[in-house]
Amino acid sequence: MYDIVQDYYGRQLQNSADLKTSACCDISQVPQWLKPLLARIHPEVLSRYYGCGLVCPPLLEGCRVLDLGCGSGRDVYALAQLVGPTGLVVGVDMTDEQLAVAQQHQAWHAEAFGYDNVRFLKGYIEKLDELDLQPGSFDVIVSNCVVNLSPDKDAVLRGVQRLLKPGGEFYFSDVYADRRVPDAVRNDPVLYGECLGGALYWNDFLRIAIRQGFADPRLTEDRPLEITDPALQPRVGNLQFFSATYRLFKLDELESACEDYGQAVIYKGTIPEHASSFELDKHHFIETGRVFPVCGNTWHMLKGTRFAPHFEFIGDFSRHYGLFEGCGDAMPFDGNGGGAAAQGGACC
Ligand SMILES: C[S@@+](CC[C@H](N)C(=O)[O-])C[C@H]1O[C@@H](n2cnc3c(N)ncnc32)[C@H](O)[C@@H]1O
């Protein structure tokens, strides 16, 4: 599979418009606050963006960030501005042509930003332990439309778990299917290169994440993907694909279900660009100043991470009240027939 993917991203695709699905996020979907940052990125880097989501979570200033499958570096250069001169962004990719574009413009961006805080490494995201990266040294790891291309997703998440600091998070966009992808689709080189053939059935992804120590994956956003190419559409049949962004926290305290300890948090409204509310995930839209009941896992995700100074915490773990109400297990994505939200919601 490595050869197929390297050929697709290194030689066949020349720019974002060559993709045959709606996987790629266009500028109209980018939040307003991010647009000035993208405007400072070199046009050649922007033209070779092949991501399917946004991987810029809040509160990155001073953070050490790793981008898995950074491609030509659009997200690296956006994140470089968010972490600022005291932070660092490392991009890893296996395709020479993609890395060449990223590295060719490194000095240009250093000049534009006033600092050089990025590093690019050639390597495989399943073999992060072979790279010169210290275990437990990253605050945030991101990835945009890459994990689906990996032939060993367990190894990717194992490597992420190893490289994150305690309380760090893997915040990543990827493509998922509503069912297990049949071999005919998986073995089709174009469908694989287009990030469809290797997509995980969403529930298998959750199983892998849990197996690799991320007990409570949180979905932050999702959208159905359209297969716009008339030649490819019949080849995928009834399969439905989604682009989705998950956040996985490295926290030993997380439980396998959302348990109720009668706790609550109050958001102080102090996270930059998020004065009136903070959205931890699709089911936790936390308005500033409001007492917001949370399960034990959500408490830990706020208390044991870089978000802690921005919240007040009410209660402790001294009494257990059972399962947190609304903890569901239906398909989590919206669109193409509805998901958990359409069926009454779920807390995680
Ligand atoms: C769909 S593109 C996304 C690139 C970039 N994240 C972006 O948003 O533009 C996939 C990228 O992942 C890289 N890639 C795929 N599988 C990889 C692997 N196993 N190890 C390292 N890089 C990989 C490819 O070389 C390609 O640059």
Which of 199, 221, 249 finishes a domain?
249
In short, whether 88's Cβ falls inside 6 Å of ligand 1 is no
Asked if residue 304 and residue 195 are part of one domain, the reply reads no
Evaluate if residue 10 carries a pLDDT over 50: yes
In short, whether 173's Cβ falls inside 6 Å of ligand 1 is no
Which of 249, 277, 305 finishes a domain?
249
Nearest CA to ligand 1 atom 26: 71
Please give the pLDDT value at position 1.
Answer: 79
Average pLDDT on 112-133 reads 98
Asked if residue 149 and residue 224 are part of one domain, the reply reads yes
DSSP assignment letter at 87: -
Asked if residue 300 and residue 234 are part of one domain, the reply reads no
Asked if residue 78 and residue 226 are part of one domain, the reply reads yes
CA distance 224 to 336: 7
Which of 108, 96, 103 is closest to 73 using CA atoms? 103
Beta bridge partners of 281: 284
Asked if residue 337 and residue 203 are part of one domain, the reply reads no
Ligand 1 centre to CA of 112 (Å) is: 25
Evaluate if residue 4 carries a pLDDT over 70: yes
Asked if residue 122 and residue 212 are part of one domain, the reply reads yes
Residue matched to tokens 């936390």: 286
Model confidence pLDDT, tens digit, residues 55-68: 999 999 999 999 99
DSSP assignment letter at 225: P
Asked if residue 185 and residue 309 are part of one domain, the reply reads no
Is residue 137 within 8 Å of residue 166, measured between CB atoms? no
**DSSP code string of 284-302:** EEEEBT-EEEE-HHHHHHH
Please give the pLDDT value at position 27.
Answer: 59
Which of 201, 224, 249 finishes a domain?
249
Asked if residue 13 and residue 33 are part of one domain, the reply reads yes
Average pLDDT on 1-26 reads 75
CA distance 76 to 117: 10
Structure tokens at 118: 């990025």
Number of structural domains (the chain) is 2
Please give the pLDDT value at position 83.
Answer: 98
Asked if residue 304 and residue 224 are part of one domain, the reply reads no
Domain that holds residue 73: 2-249
Asked if residue 121 and residue 189 are part of one domain, the reply reads yes
The pTM score is 0.94
Please give the pLDDT value at position 28.
Answer: 59
Evaluate if residue 337 carries a pLDDT over 80: no
CA distance 217 to 346: 13
Ligand 1 centre to CA of 264 (Å) is: 40
Structure tokens at 135: 């275990």
Average pLDDT on 280-293 reads 97
* Percentage, residues of the chain above pLDDT 90: 78
Rg (CA), the chain: 20
Which of 82, 66, 271 is closest to 165 using CA atoms? 66
Beta bridge partners of 284: 281
